[in-house]
Amino acid sequence: MGLVVQKYGGSSVADAEGIKRVAKRIVDTKKQGHEVVVVVSAMGDTTDELIDLAQQVSPIPSGRELDMLLTAGERMSMALLAMAIKNLGVDARSFTGSQAGVITDAVHNKARIIDVTPGRIRSALDEGAIAIVAGFQGVSQDTKDITTLGRGGSDTTAVALAAALDAEVCEIYTDVDGIFTADPRVVKKARKISRISYQEMLELAASGSKVLHLRCVEYARRYDMPVHVRSSFSGLVGTWVTDEPEGDDMEHAIISGVAHDTSEAKITVVGVPDKPGEAAKIFRLVADNEINIDMIVQNVSAASTGRTDISFTLPMSDGQNAMTALTKAQAEIGFESLRYDDQIGKISLVGAGMRSHPGVTAKFFESLTGAGVNIELISTSEIRISVVCRADGVPAAVQAVHTAFGLDDQSGEAVVYGGTGR
Amino acid sequence: MGLVVQKYGGSSVADAEGIKRVAKRIVDTKKQGHEVVVVVSAMGDTTDELIDLAQQVSPIPSGRELDMLLTAGERMSMALLAMAIKNLGVDARSFTGSQAGVITDAVHNKARIIDVTPGRIRSALDEGAIAIVAGFQGVSQDTKDITTLGRGGSDTTAVALAAALDAEVCEIYTDVDGIFTADPRVVKKARKISRISYQEMLELAASGSKVLHLRCVEYARRYDMPVHVRSSFSGLVGTWVTDEPEGDDMEHAIISGVAHDTSEAKITVVGVPDKPGEAAKIFRLVADNEINIDMIVQNVSAASTGRTDISFTLPMSDGQNAMTALTKAQAEIGFESLRYDDQIGKISLVGAGMRSHPGVTAKFFESLTGAGVNIELISTSEIRISVVCRADGVPAAVQAVHTAFGLDDQSGEAVVYGGTGR
């Protein structure tokens, strides 16, 4: 019976009743003989309400102060959860990110964890207590200021603590039953995946699957920490995210799932001088503004003009920042104009099995054509193919691809391909 | 132009509009050339709402966790206030009690400040920023846990920081114009006091005047820190709390004011063996439960029984705790029974001038008799007389005493006694 880290999201602790229900589940785990560390998010819509208040006093709130404000959210949920557990007769202590030793860089609102020193958590466990830790937050190594890890950061806190404490498993409790082959709100016949590799989960998370935060999966893979994604409302087994199956796994599907994302925008930089270093200038500028970009496409240069167009996609929420920064640098970079398009959607097919199945790409494109979807950008990795199309074409496209690859649930039986190995 | 510490209560920062109004006042002070440190309470009813949530998950919440929960309140108000100030173009940084160096003992929910090490505040000021500090909270020296100073503790935070930073003045902004000769809700003709000594203010605060927290005044007296109590809604000069006037101050009134308090209860321990050490046992027990008692009266022992009754008053909120602790110790202490009475009120007359006016006590009792008030307990200090009566007699009694001592406002002119000195 080892150490278990459990993470509960905001919807699981939205009110007093939810907190009491979660407390009972935690106490049950403790009574099974485990050491238990719990990472908790802010209650329900608290974070959104605080952001709303911030915008009432300042249109562009200071990053440092926004972090100070938002971290009040988990402070409330963790203290209430610790009280509820103590009320069940089991010792519990709450800790802020700083107290739990979550050390980050100083980039407010999207800090990165650079070290975890959970001495106080270890002591609490040694004294027989359950440790409740605020998700999403840390303290900057250099400035000692309070930082937040950005949306979904509580998942990352949980996996980072699990790794630092050498936990047996990191359980991510959420309001769905696990990871699905597609978003069940879009594809009715989406199936729950019982086991998926870190690599595939990374691609799914990067492609728009909302259940696990990308950085959390990166962290889990780096430290080889098994993650069990499951529902806090049912007792069901969810999805295990682990390393890849050893040897030939005859039952491992070629395709894990279809992800989609309509939260990105596309910026096209028109008429960039086609000289070495021009693209680098653009992406250095974007990086310096702490903007993560996703897909990049450079058109073939028109010989007559010596100029080319460069398109890239990025989170819509960073769109305004990027346009402002690029506009300021227009003279220096020497491009002709900018185009901004936030009516795009991205569809991604993910599966470790596609490495050895050359027909996957063709079938993917055929199914998109069948759904009447026009492809605007393409990007591939060894285990993923993504395309950008119009946002309003996304639901039909996802449904068509899901069916074409045999992912639809058929009377409860998971459809699997015979693995050919490699 | 020196350093000014300003404290704003919850009613001054109850919503986004209030926060913006306070931000403007702070910026004005800074623009007059002062260094400014601001101590802020939680917004409006936040603290009460959090206590209510705590009670929904646990009937008797853990003290440590309740402190963790409640400190979320100032975290929100201070971050929002810092944002609002920055939005006016002036640099501001918020600090938790712990970051501001407010070091306390480990008594949760009513911790005492044992040291203030405001290094980070000093650095922020040196860099030209306004420092916003969370009131009411600190960090325990021994356990490194978050603590709170109890209700009204933000005043104490402000004076303690002012002393540690060698401020010129500590301004306490509130929703009234200053300290009055009586509660204006009870006595319509109550007058604002323009200047009062630490000693008199201490007695008023201890006697039920709610405007300044008792410990804040103790702190101010110990460090000789001038406190200016004034309204955050008007620009008026309020009440200065300072050391006593030097030499003969011909205009210093005999009586500063009349305070009342209906938040106490009376416990009578009946039939205590009249032997040395019995009373000590009772009050050791009460002290060990962290209960502050106020007045104590021991009846003359009845020779026939060798037993006596001991009565004391205490905050009503501590009543249940005290009764439980005493009941448990009944066999050990050997008393006969306990009586609990929460229908009491206390009326206190405070004034440094009464030291040299022997007629004050007689006049006080005469005015109470005239109002038909029956006196149950009496307690005196050099500059205060307090009596306990029935709670429902308090308004009439306060009014009668206020009039008898010439404190009623007469066409704007303060009524002063010629001082006889001593």
Q: Is the pLDDT of residue B224 over 50?
A: yes
Q: Is B4 annotated as a binding residue?
A: no
pLDDT in tens, A140-172: 999 999 999 987 799 999 999 999 999 999 999
DSSP code at position A302: B
Lowest mean pLDDT among A264-268, A370-374, B409-413: B409-413
pLDDT in tens, B327-386: 999 999 889 999 999 999 999 999 988 877 778 888 999 999 999 998 888 888 888 999
Q: Which residue has the higher pLDDT, B185 or B421?
A: B185
User: What pLDDT score does B299 carry?
Assistant: 75
pLDDT in tens, B150-182: 877 999 999 999 999 999 999 999 988 999 999
Does residue B106 belong to the interface with chain A, where contact is any CB pair within 8 Å?
A: no
What is the amino acid identity at position A367? S
Going by C-alpha positions, the residue among A380, A46, A281 that lies closest to residue B50 is A46
| Distance of alpha carbon A297 from alpha carbon B346, whole angstroms | 80
Q: Which residues pair with A275 in a beta bridge?
A: none
Tokens of A160: 């980072």
Residue A293 CB: number of other CB atoms within 10 A? 17
> From the list A23, A72, A83, which residue is nearest B54 (CB)?
A83
| Distance of alpha carbon B36 from alpha carbon B129, whole angstroms | 8
> From the list B53, B62, B75, which residue is nearest A72 (CB)?
B75
Q: Which residue of A has its CA nearest to B54?
A: A80
In this structure, what are the phi and psi dihedrals at residue B298, rounded to the nearest 5 degrees? -110, 125
DSSP letters spanning A56-89: HH-SS--HHHHHHHHHHHHHHHHHHHHHHHHHTT
Annotate B7-68 with three-state secondary structure: EECHHHHCCHHHHHHHHHHHHHHHHCCCEEEEEECCCCCHHHHHHHHHHHHCCCCCHHHHHH
User: What pLDDT score does A342 carry?
Assistant: 94
Q: Which residues pair with B173 in a beta bridge?
A: B8, B230
User: Band of the pLDDT at A237, cuts 50, 70, 90?
Assistant: very high
Does residue B42 belong to the interface with chain A, where contact is any CB pair within 8 Å?
A: no
Tokens of B336: 């006969």
Rounded to 5°, angle at Cα A247 from A246 and A250? 100
Tokens 């927290």 locate to B213
Superfamily of chain region B3-175: Acetylglutamate kinase-like (3.40.1160.10)
Going by C-alpha positions, the residue among A354, A383, A378 that lies closest to residue A365 is A378
Residue B131 CB: number of other CB atoms within 10 A? 28
| Distance of alpha carbon B39 from alpha carbon B155, whole angstroms | 8
Residues of B within 8 A of A54 (CB-CB) are 79-80, 83
Looking at the structure, give the CATH architecture of the domain made up of residues A249-422.
Answer: 2-Layer Sandwich (3.30)
CB within 8 Å: A79 and B65: yes
A62, A81, A90, A147, best to mutate vs chain B, most B CBs in 10 Å: A62
| Distance of alpha carbon B146 from alpha carbon B64, whole angstroms | 7
Q: How high is the mean pLDDT of chain A?
A: 90
Q: Which residue of A has its CA nearest to B77?
A: A69
Residue A312 CB: number of other CB atoms within 10 A? 23
H helices of B304-348, where? Answer: 319-328, 330-333
Does residue A71 belong to the interface with chain B, where contact is any CB pair within 8 Å?
A: yes
Lowest mean pLDDT among A2-16, A59-73, A351-365: A351-365
Tokens of B174: 């509130």
Do residues A125 and A131 make contact, with C-beta atoms less than 8 angstroms apart?
Answer: yes
B192 CA to centre of own chain:
18
Does residue B66 belong to the interface with chain A, where contact is any CB pair within 8 Å?
A: yes
Pairing of strands A146-148, B227-231: unpaired
Taking the whole predicted model, whether its pTM rises above 0.90 is answered as: no
**Burial of A38 by CB count in 10 Å (0-12 exposed, 13-18 middle, 19+ buried)?**
buried
* Angle between helices B16-31 and A46-57 in degrees, nearest 10: 40
Domain ranges of chain B: 3-175, 249-422
Q: Is the pLDDT of residue A418 over 50?
A: no
Asked whether this chain's domains B3-175 and B249-422 adopt the same fold, the reply is no
Q: Is B187 helix (H, G, I), strand (E, B) or coil?
A: coil
- Four-CA torsion A63, A64, A68, A74, nearest 10 degrees: 60
Q: Which residue has the higher pLDDT, B76 or B409?
A: B76
User: Band of the pLDDT at B273, cuts 50, 70, 90?
Assistant: confident
CA distances from B104 to B42, B170, B221, B240, B413 (A): 20, 21, 19, 28, 44
Rounded to 5°, angle at Cα B199 from B195 and B203? 100
Does residue B82 belong to the interface with chain A, where contact is any CB pair within 8 Å?
A: yes
> From the list A50, A79, A99, which residue is nearest B69 (CB)?
A79
